[in-house]
Amino acid sequence: MSIWTVEMDIDRLHRGFPGTILEHLDITIDAVGDDCLTASMPVDHRTIQRMGILHGGASVVLAESVGSIASNCCVDQATLAAVGLQINANHIRPVSSGRVSGTARPLHLGFRTHVWRIALQDENGRRTCECTLTTSVITRKSLGL
């Protein structure tokens, strides 16, 4: 059974990101499952740190992005929004080239909070980072939307 409250069309999801960090870092939505969402980004001059490996903060941007998008696709978007409340990241393995992907799966989908596990991996399927994201479900009106 699907957790989504909206039609999960990858092209439609991409249209919502112009002018955002997702566009700047070339983060793309790659796959949708009944209970998961996968996105990826390149490891390049925009995402590496001075030692030539993926910056931990870039990994967190990918994790929070895919988790937040997933969370927002589980609420009534006419009246509610899911916003980041807390994120934790454990960096496991360095990556120096290629793309990294992150798959978000829910641990808890409550009325006021969602908790997501986001597993990042390199192109060879090796785990690079493990994140937990908590989002707060709030009214769009409280955001001024």
What is the average pLDDT value for the chain, to the nearest integer? 97
Residue 121 is predicted with a pLDDT of 99
Query: 142: how many CB neighbours lie within 10 A of its CB?
Result: 10
Is 64 annotated as catalytic?
A: yes
Q: Is 69 among the domain residues? A: yes
Residue 134 is predicted with a pLDDT of 99
Q: Is 5 among the domain residues? A: no
pTM value?
0.96
What does the pLDDT look like over 95-106, one tens digit per residue?
A: 999 999 999 999
| Number of domain units in the chain | 1
99-109: strand order across its sheet: 28-32, 37-42, 99-109, 113-121, 127-139, 80-91
Using the predicted structure, report yes or no on whether residue 93 has a pLDDT greater than 90. yes
At 46, list the tokens: 């925009």
What does the pLDDT look like over 25-37, one tens digit per residue?
A: 999 999 999 999 9
Q: Is 94 among the domain residues? A: yes
Q: Which of 7, 23, 64, 130 is catalytic?
A: 64
Domain span including residue 70: 10-143
CB 35 within 8 A of CB 29: no
Find the CATH number of the domain harbouring 123: 3.10.129.10
